Structure 1
Amino acid sequence: MDAIYFVSMGSLLGIIFAWVMFLRVKKQPEGTSEMARISEAVRKGANAYLKRQYSGVAIFFIAVFCILLIMAFNGFLSFFTPFAFLTGGFFSGLSGFIGMRTATMANCRTAEGASKSLNKGLQVAFSAGSVMGFTVVGLGLLDLSIWYFILNAAFQHLPVEQRITEITANMLTFGMGASSMALFARVGGGIFTKAADVGADLVGKVEAGIPEDDPRNPAVIADNVGDNVGDVAGMGADLYESYVGSIVSTAALAVAAGYGVKGVSIPMLLAALGVVASVIGTFFVKTEEGASQKNLLKALRTGTYISAAIIVVAAYFIIKMMLPGHMGLYAAVLSGLIAGVLIGAITEYYTSDTYSPTKKLAESSETGAATVIISGLSLGMLSTVAPVIIVSISVLVSYYCSGGANDFNLGLYGIGLSAVGMLSTLGITLATDAYGPIADNAGGIAEMTHMDASVRQRTDALDSLGNTTAATGKGFAIGSAALTALALIASYVDKVHQIQPDLNLDLTITNPKVLVGLFIGGVLPFLFAALTMEAVGKAAQSIVLEVRRQFKTIAGIMEGKAEPDYASCVDMCTKSAQKLMIAPAMIAVIIPIVIGLLLGPEGVCALLAGNTVTGFVLAVMMANSGGAWDNAKKYIEQGAHDGKGSSQHKAAVVGDTVGDPFKDTSGPSINILIKLTSMVSIVFASLVLAFHLL
């Protein structure tokens, strides 16, 4: 299959471009010795956290590897699956680590760049974000290429059509490793970052009345560390598994649809060309001094839209070349691309202080914290309507334009292609997202080193933009998760029929197994969100007490004459995150297996459907509420409604504190839950079919 060689070239292009961007960032000046010292403290804290996290996650991976190996020895799995599980987890974790390492190197350089000009600060932060984006797509395509060549060699004795069936069936399972690593990274990083953020805000800003990122706050370094381990390493691992999962599930559906090698080639070619389009798009990201939020956002959007336009043209020729009689597939790709752009625009509308929803949320601070929270929840709930409609239209367009009315499998392949289309420009999309935490860290360094007020003004502008791009990135991740999950559900059904071709699945709503599965799947995201929110609350309590203790016991801390014990807060956050992430992470793995053994494949299908529907809606609501609360606070800090220190500001800080675990822990983790349950179900399908009770 010639397409795989092009995929390999796309992989190398992504990795090389990421390396070039890394060197570009590294060449930038670090600033003063004090800026470099704080950056080093953040880097050490982030490295210590990831080292402890990966050590703990390694135990989980070894245990699951042994279980999968036992299943393989007993004929329930291919012997390639346990090893593919390990490589999926390894590359997912590696992409997050590289992105985080770059971000912690770029924070002081971004602050120094902002001291020269707004555009310079933007260029440094965006270049560092590009390392994250292109590392994810480069390593994702590398993992896919390696396994294709291994499996092609292993099954070379089979005819081409039978060989591609075996290849795609085996490749589908390595997404479980990527999803598992992503969940641990997202949940653990989210607990860390929000425990530190909540602790720093509640005691520092609300109780002590000191500014955000004030060096007198003992939790300030932990807060900056958290931005990197949660929003950079966690997001990178998250979108890595979405990216790979959409490609391999669509490739598997191509075989079921009867498109064979050519159908399998299309999602791979789209992904590879997406790397080229993303590289081109990065050269169009620039702005001018004194640019407004709208102009800054336009600068980032220009690159994204140019990349999408290139894919629009390229996709037409790919499908015309590979499957000329099936141009309806082009509409499926377009529907995914357009859906991604529209979901980003809707998220921006509800979370940016440029538009009325966030401005009205800021106005609600006039009557206190309670009305801020009520208004924020209302905004989040209302914001779910448009994304649901957009995804629904995309599904219908993809299904029917691909021939779903005549053949169910053709329609499902179209839905898979729409997910690939949405994620095809992930390189630049993730770059605009990873840029946000870097700008946030730069603002913290500017505050802690008492840089000129104009520098903090520029970093605040970049940070506020980063909140919007981060919220947009989360909306994009959640939307892509919904489409990918639909493709994975279809892949699960296809997997079941491959194992037992004569099995007649009864998926009607009147089947009690389906009804029970729907209920359990529907409540699963709420259980998961509850556990992750509670974890943040518990971890934050310990930080609040520690910060209060230091304010009381360290003489001269409030006068700036004594340095706080930053390391104790970093260590407490690390230990809490590692301990509290276990329960929510394990339910994603255990529940689909238990339901499968009890209710059989019908119950699993229903579980996945219920989980996808409620998980998608809940994730959008939480992400947008949190993003709007954050930007409403920043809008007031810029001078609206009596500005910093006012009663309105304190009310908005409370809203932002409530929203922190919404947007950075529970919300973005739910989209991984959606996909991981599907991947686990696919891997354990043979076991479920052999031993289910009902």
Structure 2
Amino acid sequence: MTAVPYLALIASVLALLLAYYFAKVVLRADQGTELMREIGAAIREGAMAFLRREYRWVSVFVAAMFVLLLIVPIADDFAPRLAASFAYLMGAVLSSVAGFIGMRIATAANTRTANAAREGAAKALPLAFKGGAVMGFSVAGLALLGISINYLLWVKWLGVDQAFQVVAAFGLGASSIALFARIGGGIYTKAADVGGDLVGKVEAGIPEDDPRNPATIADAVGDNVGDVAGMGADLFESYAGSIVAPVVLASLLVPVFLEGDSLAGSFGDAEGLLMYPILIGALGMIASIIGALFVRGREGRSLPGQLHTGQYVAMALTVVFAIVGTLVLFSGSPTFVTEDTTYELSAPIFLAFTIIVGLLGGWAIGFTSEYFTSEHFRPVKGIAQQSETGPATVTIEGIAQGKLSTLPAVVLVVAMIGLSYLFGGMAFGEAGNEIGLYGVALAAIGMLAVTGVIVAVDAYGPIADNAGGIAEMAELPPEVRGVTDSLDSLGNTTAAVAKGFAVGSAAVTALALFKSFSLTAGEKVLLDINDTAVTIGLFLGAMTPFIFAALTMSSVGRAAQAMIVEVRRQFAEIPGLREGEPGVKPDSRRCVDISTQAALREMLLPGGLAVVLPLVIGFIDVNALGGFLAGAVVTGFLIAIYMANSGGAWDNAKKYIEAGAHGGKGTDAHAAAVVGDTIGDPFKDTSGPAMNILIKVMTIVSLVFVPAFL
């Protein structure tokens, strides 16, 4: 049993080695023509420059939180506060490192993917996937590495007081980076995308990614800072939180004592419950590594089938590994003593069932996202049909389909919570008892057990998108752009699927963290709807995701306005630019600078609110904070699903028309679809994806600081 954290360390190192191998494969590939190299270098330079500036800004926030954890009385003694501060710092640093590595390789893979597309999709797809897999396995490997080290250091080796609160601080560090990375990257990418599309496509009548458009390079940079670094930080935080939540919950449901004079913890049979989430993380990592090796380009096979092969192999292996690992870890029917009850883990197989429920639930939520965002299904075709009558009907239908998409997502999450709660209790022979909440927390791990592959498939999308832009700017033959467009269209759908995984796990993880918050607060928190403080908190919490969405969307609007003004100015003041005269080039650096400054400036207020609001409410009234979290989790989940799916549907409706439907490019229908896509940009890439981080940041801040509130 004590070998589990070491197994997790080995699995994380293997993941990092695979990321290193894939990085070498990508870097060995041919970058193509001199012009392609030049364009790729400009994108890489802009992306890495933004990431460095963003990290400098965020480091100030991280330093402030480090000090806050030291001075706020989250523990009676200084030692656990110091440990929590360092655990927080480790979470922030590892998340930043994963983003930096993933960004570096993604910006190298885009040019090489564009060049490989000259030989066909069978060459380009596996290269783009490997570029994304570097981010995927860096994220998952570093997250599991950090959790394993924190568990060994604070719980096993040093045995600090309130050790599991300290482990939770690691998740808080990851959440801090994720929140700012998602908001900042989302504002950056959509400012460039919206500004470039409205002036370029609609006003100037030039194609997407045309080298004449000054915003084209900024848009390509944005794909990386938003959909690679931002998304990677998002799923780093989601993955870490999904493991931390059941570990902390188990420590509160089954009290853990330190025995004797030694600092080393003595847990008895309870150690199995603490180790189990880490074991599933390790086994899922091994399954993901094997699955990733199955993604190979083959002529004649469908692109989605080839890309999803690795994910399906990883999921199948995770099911097998989870069953075997559960039976081995809990052989002998161990017993667990709480303050009121002694539980016997008489049927451990049901714990494996909670993992399977989470895994299948995550896949099902991802499938519903694919249904509502893929051009192969009715919702997107319906939005494209509405383009015949103008942008107003396109907008109405996109909003309607996004809101409708919350129905299957909620049904699936409710079913997943109910089944995992039932199975969690049945494992202990106590169906319906509070111990069943442990099973709910485990379901979140099941959803993200194959994070390495999920992120790889998601990060593939912006690499393919950039490859298409480079093909256009480098004036490669139309058939090459046709290959990259097919890869890009698939990438939009895979991004929606990954967002489904992330937001679904956010709801379940937040529920587990919320229960941990309630257990830590004890009798001080009674979530009675008749309590005026709880009712006030519910309203404030339900309001917060709406305010957060409004702030981030307004930020995109302001930044895009500045971009539009700049693009119009360059078309008006640079002779021959719009006409594409030889030797006339736009000032792309100016557009990159506009997006960078806007993103860094605009991310501070919404990001700060996520931390400040629960702290302020918690110090005023802990019951109000409980209501606040409940309201925020429910509305935040719904808004995240609605915005992500509406945005993805608008985007693919535009691409469906560009592929030839309803008259194709240059028609009134196409112009209407471009407007819909523009509205959807901040929906799917800024406000929507950041929502799941918002609800987890507020929940984990409340959990870590609840001793101070009391």
Structure-1-length-normalised TM-score: 0.95
The aligned counterpart of 1:268 is 278
The aligned counterpart of 2:662 is 641
Amino acid at match of 1:117: G
Contact 2:147–2:170 (Cα < 8 Å) also in 1: no
Q: 1:95 aligns with which of 94, 98, 122?
A: 98
Matched, 1:506 2:526: yes
Contact 2:310–2:453 (Cα < 8 Å) also in 1: yes
Contact 1:173–1:682 (Cα < 8 Å) also in 2: no
Contact 1:351–1:358 (Cα < 8 Å) also in 2: yes
* Aligned counterparts, 1:40-189, within 5 A: 40-71=41-72, 75=76, 78-152=81-155, 155=158, 166-189=162-185
Contact 2:525–2:626 (Cα < 8 Å) also in 1: no
Amino acid at match of 1:313: V
Contact 2:22–2:133 (Cα < 8 Å) also in 1: yes
More divergent stretch after superposition (511-520 vs 68-77): 68-77
Q: 1:153 to 1:471 in 2, by over 3 A?
A: closer
For 1:126 and 1:72, the matched residues in 2 are separated by 46
Matched, 1:674 2:679: no
Contact 1:334–1:418 (Cα < 8 Å) also in 2: yes
- CA deviation profile, 1:125-157 (whole Å, cap 9, x unmatched): 00001001100111001111222232146535x
| Superposed displacement of residue 408, structure 1 | 4.2
Contact 1:253–1:409 (Cα < 8 Å) also in 2: no
The aligned counterpart of 1:159 is none
For 1:453 and 1:377, the matched residues in 2 are separated by 34
The aligned counterpart of 1:253 is 249
For 1:388 and 1:493, the matched residues in 2 are separated by 24
The aligned counterpart of 2:587 is 565
More divergent stretch after superposition (329-338 vs 672-681): 329-338
| Superposed displacement of residue 299, structure 1 | 1.6
- CA deviation profile, 1:108-130 (whole Å, cap 9, x unmatched): 10001111121111011000010
The aligned counterpart of 2:317 is 310
| Superposed displacement of residue 82, structure 1 | 1.1
The aligned counterpart of 2:546 is 526
Q: 2:517 aligns with which of 492, 495, 504?
A: 492
- CA deviation profile, 1:658-682 (whole Å, cap 9, x unmatched): 0000000000000000100011111
| Superposed displacement of residue 166, structure 1 | 4.2
Q: Secondary structure at the match of 1:285?
A: coil
The aligned counterpart of 1:603 is 624
The aligned counterpart of 2:240 is 244
For 1:167 and 1:409, the matched residues in 2 are separated by 23
Amino acid at match of 2:502: A
Contact 1:256–1:409 (Cα < 8 Å) also in 2: no
Matched, 1:442 2:461: no
| Superposed displacement of residue 508, structure 1 | 1.8
| Superposed displacement of residue 253, structure 1 | 1.7
Q: Secondary structure at the match of 1:666?
A: helix
Q: 2:403 aligns with which of 381, 387, 393?
A: 381
- CA deviation profile, 1:414-436 (whole Å, cap 9, x unmatched): 01110001100111011000000
Contact 1:118–1:290 (Cα < 8 Å) also in 2: no
Q: 1:526 to 1:586 in 2, by over 3 A?
A: same
Matched, 1:433 2:458: yes
Matched, 1:345 2:367: yes
Q: 1:32 to 1:674 in 2, by over 3 A?
A: same
Contact 2:62–2:89 (Cα < 8 Å) also in 1: yes
Contact 2:375–2:381 (Cα < 8 Å) also in 1: yes
Q: Secondary structure at the match of 1:604?
A: helix
For 2:398 and 2:74, the matched residues in 1 are separated by 53
Contact 1:262–1:322 (Cα < 8 Å) also in 2: yes
For 2:667 and 2:199, the matched residues in 1 are separated by 16
For 1:387 and 1:338, the matched residues in 2 are separated by 13
| Superposed displacement of residue 75, structure 1 | 3.0
For 1:634 and 1:406, the matched residues in 2 are separated by 49
Amino acid at match of 1:87: M
Q: 2:304 aligns with which of 268, 282, 297?
A: 297
Unaligned runs of 5+ residues in structure 2 are 255-268, 332-345
Q: 1:659 aligns with which of 673, 680, 686?
A: 680
For 2:394 and 2:200, the matched residues in 1 are separated by 20
For 1:369 and 1:347, the matched residues in 2 are separated by 23
For 1:379 and 1:249, the matched residues in 2 are separated by 33
Q: Secondary structure at the match of 1:215?
A: coil
* Aligned counterparts, 1:322-361, within 5 A: 322-324=329-331, 325=346, 326-361=348-383
Matched, 1:214 2:239: no
Q: Secondary structure at the match of 2:578?
A: coil
For 1:495 and 1:459, the matched residues in 2 are separated by 52
Contact 2:73–2:708 (Cα < 8 Å) also in 1: no
For 2:52 and 2:433, the matched residues in 1 are separated by 46
Q: In the comparison of the two structures, how many residue pairs are matched?
A: 673
For 1:287 and 1:7, the matched residues in 2 are separated by 31
- CA deviation profile, 1:253-305 (whole Å, cap 9, x unmatched): 222333611011111111111111111111222344465xxx21122222111
The aligned counterpart of 1:468 is 493
For 1:563 and 1:411, the matched residues in 2 are separated by 63
For 2:620 and 2:253, the matched residues in 1 are separated by 30
| Superposed displacement of residue 72, structure 1 | 5.4
Q: 1:8 to 1:169 in 2, by over 3 A?
A: same
For 1:463 and 1:327, the matched residues in 2 are separated by 41
More divergent stretch after superposition (677-686 vs 216-225): 677-686
Q: 1:547 aligns with which of 558, 567, 592?
A: 567
For 2:656 and 2:432, the matched residues in 1 are separated by 52
For 1:413 and 1:651, the matched residues in 2 are separated by 49
More divergent stretch after superposition (441-450 vs 408-417): 408-417
For 1:206 and 1:589, the matched residues in 2 are separated by 40
For 1:473 and 1:246, the matched residues in 2 are separated by 15
Amino acid at match of 1:278: S
Q: 1:406 to 1:470 in 2, by over 3 A?
A: closer
The aligned counterpart of 2:338 is none
For 1:227 and 1:265, the matched residues in 2 are separated by 38
* Aligned counterparts, 1:5-20, within 5 A: 5-20=6-21
More divergent stretch after superposition (129-138 vs 67-76): 67-76
Amino acid at match of 1:11: S
Contact 1:532–1:584 (Cα < 8 Å) also in 2: yes
Unaligned runs of 5+ residues in structure 1 are 157-162, 498-502, 690-694
Amino acid at match of 1:634: K
More divergent stretch after superposition (93-102 vs 437-446): 93-102
More divergent stretch after superposition (269-278 vs 435-444): 269-278
Q: 1:153 to 1:663 in 2, by over 3 A?
A: same
Q: Secondary structure at the match of 1:568?
A: helix
| Superposed displacement of residue 96, structure 1 | 1.2
The aligned counterpart of 2:287 is 277
Amino acid at match of 1:443: G
Identity among equivalent positions (%) equals 50
- CA deviation profile, 1:473-527 (whole Å, cap 9, x unmatched): 1111111111111111112122223xxxxx3532121111111111111111000
Amino acid at match of 1:470: A
Amino acid at match of 2:389: T
Amino acid at match of 1:7: A
Contact 1:168–1:251 (Cα < 8 Å) also in 2: yes
For 2:122 and 2:75, the matched residues in 1 are separated by 60
Amino acid at match of 1:652: A
Structure-2-length-normalised TM-score: 0.93
> What is the aligned-residue RMSD (CA, Å)?
1.5
